[in-house]
Amino acid sequence: MRLLAAFLVGLLTCAPALAADGNAERGEEIYTRCKACHALEQNRVGPRHCGLFGRKAGSVPNYQYSSAMKKYGVTWNEETLDKFIENPLKTVPGTKMGYAGVKDPQERADLIAYLKKATSDPKICE
Amino acid sequence: MTIVKLDPLPARGKRRTFLSGFTLSATAIALLAGNEKLGLVGSASAQTANNDVTILNSALGAEQQAIAAYQLGAESGLLQKPVKDLAVQFQGHHKAHADALAKAVTKLGGKPVAPMKDYHFPKEKLKSQNDVLSFAATLEKGAVSAYLGAVPILTDKDLAKAAASILGDEAMHWAVLRYALGQNPVPDAFMS
């Protein structure tokens, strides 16, 4: 019985969290929090978001990344973004993004759903 | 949308300098106003200072961008009085924030980020006063969120308190800009 309990606890703690279904409309509202530093189309204080999915971290041309982000090495997708957005400073120590992060999993899912839609929209991102 | 008549500078003659109207701790004032004797560096660990420098530099970058955005607005020829005066006043606040943040970064042993050489603002979309105000409101709302994301992770509570005081100023900017745009100036009970 103890073994079974330990196994179940292990499963629960080791299994990756299931991503919540994101709502792009809600995500657009959440994205307003990012707009002091980011824009979809252009580099600002932070790098542009157009073309984000499938892009290697630290690779937007003409943007001055921290050395930590240049070395981070991941490709941005739902999972890598979810981890970074939750706690940027913990995920990439040395990142220039001095922000606590989006702690609510549903909000992250919504934000990522919006980013996925907007950053591949040809009307926005040429 | 209709521009609401504003009297943006009722206290023109008694404009306050940054922090003079706030009650902040001696440490925060020292960090943000540059008092050599009361700085935090001696009491904070290097890692703590590094984290706080990163956070303050993020805020500094956003403040520098806001200064540039208001400069663009002021020089656009699209802003009429008294809205233009309001924009210049808000720009002055951002300059004060930036100066204070840069001094705090230096006090913590860091290097303040420099303003970008060029800011890529959507100039082609700014064709009216309302366009400029909407753009400014977008940045101000983002700034509120940015400070909201900074306050809980600044390891020094006095710095967090000082950042919160800037947050309040940004929130007032956002509300006034929304009011000028004919929108509900305070649409929610909580900011996010």
- The C-alpha atoms of residue B157 and residue B28 are separated, in whole angstroms, by 9
Backbone φ and ψ of A55, nearest 5°: -90, 145
Q: For A26-38, what is each residue's pLDDT tens digit?
A: 999 999 999 999 9
Query: Cβ distance B161 to B100 under 8 Å?
Result: no
Say what the pLDDT of residue A126 is: 79
Six-digit token pair at B81? 């009085």
Residues of A in contact with B138 (CB under 8 A): 32, 35
Please state at what angle helix B26-33 crosses helix B157-180, rounded to 10 degrees: 70
Task: For residue range B144-181, list pLDDT tens digits in order.
Answer: 999 999 999 999 999 999 999 999 999 999 999 999 99
Contact A96 B55 (CB under 8 A): no
Q: Is a pLDDT exceeding 70 seen at residue B39?
A: no
State the Cα–Cα distance between residues A112 and A28, nearest whole angstrom: 9
What's B18's DSSP letter? Answer: T
Between chains, do B58 and A32 touch, taking CB under 8 Å as contact?
no
Residues of B in contact with A94 (CB under 8 A): 54
The domains of chain B, with CATH numbers, are 45-158 (1.20.1260.10)
Phi, psi of A28 (to 5 degrees): -65, -40
Buried/exposed code over B30-47 (b: 16+ C-beta within 10 A; e: otherwise):
bbbbbeeebbbeeebeee
Q: Which amino acid is at B191?
A: M
Q: What do you get for the CA distance between the two ends of chain A, in Å? A: 59
Question: Residue B15: pLDDT above 80?
Answer: no
Token pair of A21 as six digits: 């279904």
DSSP code at position B112: P
* pLDDT given for residue B71 in this prediction: 97
Look at A30-44, B1-15, B177-191 and tell me which has the smallest mean pLDDT: B1-15
Q: Which of A31, A33, A40, A42 to mutate to test the interface with B (most CBs of B within 10 A)?
A: A33
Per-residue confidence band for B47, with pLDDT thresholds at 50, 70 and 90 = low
**ipTM field:** 0.81
Spatial distance between the Cα atoms of B52 and B156, rounded to a whole number of angstroms: 8
- Domain annotation for chain A: domains and CATH numbers: 22-118 (1.10.760.10)
Name every chain A residue with its beta carbon within 8 A of the beta carbon of B68. Answer: none
Find all residues with CB under 8 Å of A20, minimum gap 6, and list them. A105, A106, A108, A109
- Measure the CA–CA gap between A65 and B93, rounded to whole angstroms: 28
- Report residue B64: phi and psi, to 5°: -60, -40
Each residue's pLDDT tens digit, A73-122: 999 999 999 999 999 999 999 999 999 999 999 999 999 999 999 999 99
Quick check: A36 and B139 CB within 8 A? yes
Q: What is the mean pLDDT of chain A?
A: 89
